[in-house]
Amino acid sequence: MIRFPGTNGDLDVAHVLNRVVGLRADVVWHEKFEGEGYDAVVIPGGFSYGDWLRAGAIASRSPALKEIREMASDGKPILGICNGFQILVESGLLPGALLPNDPPRFMARWVRVKVLNTKTPFTAMYNDGEVASMPIAHGEGRYYIDDPISVNAVFTYHGENPNGSINSIAGVASGDGNVVGLMPHPERASEDALVPRGHGKGGLKLWLSLKESLSRGW
């Protein structure tokens, strides 16, 4: 997990990976990150650099992104959650843009998302078309791209489109699938203690997918 000034989801992700899923995961300050020796990277949510300029814009210029680009080009799994998704888009590792919500307000609520692509290291254990519950917490999560048909959409909002994203897109992947960004928080939907009754542990399969993909040498 990469920590920037303002990151606030790193310890949540680390807890799920280390204690729930059983992977060995480190939290690394962005200025000290070196990709060599790591099999995957997660850029957690938060408000990197206070969302100055645009959400994720300053963090995307960090030297850590050079390391992450090299890992991505080597085919290693890269995941950006919420602000991490914004950073991946701002850095050019994922296409499109993340705009202020429509209506323009911060949203923190549970949503349902539909899995469109199971051929990524983060969705391999989901079923095609499976619907999962996860919470969102963002002010600039409205995904936009000029040609939405061209994008490798991984998740779409199901039943409602809370932030006005084009084609209800909630998460996208790179062309070869190893780089994934999503606005909902799977780490907050991975344990019974965190999930309201009726929502289920919709984020757990994402982390189990990563574990299985790494065991198979993704």
Half-sphere exposure of 13 (CA within 13 A, CB side): 27
Q: Choosing from 67, 90, 140, 187, which is the catalytic residue?
A: 187
Question: Is there a catalytic annotation at residue 70?
Answer: no
Q: What is the DSSP letter of 164?
A: -
Residue 80 φ/ψ, nearest 5 degrees:
-120, 125
Confidence tier at 69 by pLDDT (50, 70, 90): very high
Instruction: Compute the mean pLDDT over every residue in the chain, rounded to the nearest whole number.
Output: 96
Q: Choosing from 82, 138, 140, 158, which is the catalytic residue?
A: 82
As a whole number of angstroms, the distance between CA 212 and CA 218 comes to 9
Q: Is 22 left (phi over 0), alpha (psi -120 to 50) or beta?
A: left
Confidence tier at 218 by pLDDT (50, 70, 90): confident
Q: Choosing from 30, 138, 158, 185, which is the catalytic residue?
A: 185
Is the per-residue pLDDT at 130 higher than 90? yes
Q: Are 167 and 188 within 8 A, CB to CB? A: no
Is the per-residue pLDDT at 169 higher than 90? yes
Instruction: Report pLDDT for 8.
Output: 96
Q: What is the CATH number of domain 2-215?
A: 3.40.50.880
Question: Is there a catalytic annotation at residue 82?
Answer: yes
Q: What is the DSSP letter of 190?
A: S
Q: What is the DSSP letter of 31?
A: G
Question: Is there a catalytic annotation at residue 191?
Answer: no
Confidence tier at 39 by pLDDT (50, 70, 90): very high
71-93, pLDDT tens digit by residue?
Answer: 999 999 999 999 999 999 999 99
pTM above 0.75, yes or no: yes
Residue matched to tokens 């198979």: 216
Structure tokens at 135: 């919470």
